[in-house]
């Protein structure tokens, strides 16, 4: 069976500005073996070009079409729901570019939607204005609900924190389009051209990458190179199909990337470990 991979970026491919060992080798394997893949990110700040430039500086050369962002997912969703609409935006270049590409105008008054992404220049004036626009009838849309963002200098508030502020102030619940929303995960799978059973989601975050994959019926791989530790799994009612320390494990030529992650072959933690996977899916 031909497989396709949806791959989170921060915590999976890199941490801050540093590549995670083995990530480049894994991506090169996908390219060499002509296995379809997309980088899937809840960061709405960057455009596709921004993301591919960052990857190139780490030694991973990919086409822009191999990157799919929550900003793109949001803009495409809105374009289908309300073609040619308007939005007041709390966010940066990646989100603005995606909305413009999909026929949306960015306005300050009487918008159809208030769209929230990551922003390093959010002010109380912007938040107050957004609150009034929502109370006046604009619909609240979140590109993602990640509560915080890791940075080289530490951690800062994420899109989810801004969304929570607006929800509390207005009493209106936002619609989330980013991971783990099936909207983004289905759009990304369509870009891969794979079926549900052929799609594998790789991520480091249980609440977004793994939850989204589980809900969609994809096979899921949790990497421990980012925000989740093995002992954290006890806190969740759902499990990934496979756990690896990092993508370096999947870069191993002994792992057949086109094999099915086995169902029903589980260890004592109800998770398939890499050794079990390799035994069941030994390269021919």
Per-residue pLDDT, averaged over 57-79, amounts to: 97
pLDDT higher for 263 or 203? 203
42 and 11 Cβ atoms separated by less than 8 Å: no
186 and 134 Cβ atoms separated by less than 8 Å: no
Q: Which of 10, 112, 146, 209 is catalytic?
A: 10
Q: With a cut of 80, say whether residue 200 has pLDDT above it.
A: yes
Domains and CATH numbers, the chain: 70-176 (3.40.50.1000)
Confidence label for 262 from pLDDT (cuts 50, 70 and 90): very low
pLDDT value of residue 152: 62
Q: Which of 8, 24, 204, 209 is catalytic?
A: 8
8 catalytic, yes or no? yes
> Over the stretch 28-47, which tens digit does the pLDDT of each residue have?
999 999 999 999 999 999 99
Provide the 8-state DSSP code for 207: I
Confidence label for 146 from pLDDT (cuts 50, 70 and 90): very high
Q: How far apart are CA 177 and CA 22, in angstroms?
A: 30
Q: With a cut of 60, say whether residue 270 has pLDDT above it.
A: no
- Cα-based angle 157, 50, 179 (whole degrees, multiple of 5): 50
260 and 281 Cβ atoms separated by less than 8 Å: yes
208 and 237 Cβ atoms separated by less than 8 Å: no
- pTM (predicted TM-score): 0.88
Per-residue pLDDT, averaged over 89-104, amounts to: 97
Mean pLDDT, the chain, integer: 90
10 catalytic, yes or no? yes
Per-residue pLDDT, averaged over 104-122, amounts to: 95
């Amino acid at each position: 069976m031909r497989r396709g991979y949806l791959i989170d970026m921060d915590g999976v491919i890199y941490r801050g500005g540093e590549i995670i060992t083995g990530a480049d080798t894994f991506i090169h394997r996908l390219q060499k073996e002509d296995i379809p893949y997309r980088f899937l990110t809840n960061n709405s700040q960057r455009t596709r070009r921004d993301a591919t430039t960052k990857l190139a500086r780490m030694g991973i050369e990919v086409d822009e079409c191999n990157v799919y962002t929550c900003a793109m997912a949001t803009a495409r969703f809105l374009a289908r729901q309300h073609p040619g609409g308007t939005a007041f935006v709390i966010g940066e270049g990646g989100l603005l570019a995606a909305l413009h590409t999909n026929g949306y105008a960015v306005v300050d008054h009487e918008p159809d939607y208030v769209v929230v992404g990551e922003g390093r220049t959010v002010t109380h004036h912007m938040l107050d204005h957004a609150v009034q626009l929502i109370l006046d009838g604009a619909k609240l849309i979140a590109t993602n609900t990640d509560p915080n963002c890791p940075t080289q200098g530490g951690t800062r508030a994420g899109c989810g924190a801004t969304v929570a502020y607006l929800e509390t102030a207005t009493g209106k619940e936002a619609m989330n389009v980013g991971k783990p929303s099936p909207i983004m995960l289905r759009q990304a799978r369509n870009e891969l051209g794979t079926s549900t059973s052929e799609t594998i989601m790789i991520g480091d975050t249980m609440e977004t990458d793994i939850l989204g994959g589980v809900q969609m019926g994809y096979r899921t791989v949790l990497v421990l190179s980012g925000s989740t530790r093995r002992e954290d799994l006890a806190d969740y009612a759902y499990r990934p199909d496979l756990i690896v320390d990092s993508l370096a494990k999947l870069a191993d030529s002994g792992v057949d990337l086109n094999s099915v992650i086995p169902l029903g072959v589980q260890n004592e933690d109800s998770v398939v470990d890499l050794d079990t996977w390799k035994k069941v899916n030994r390269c021919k």
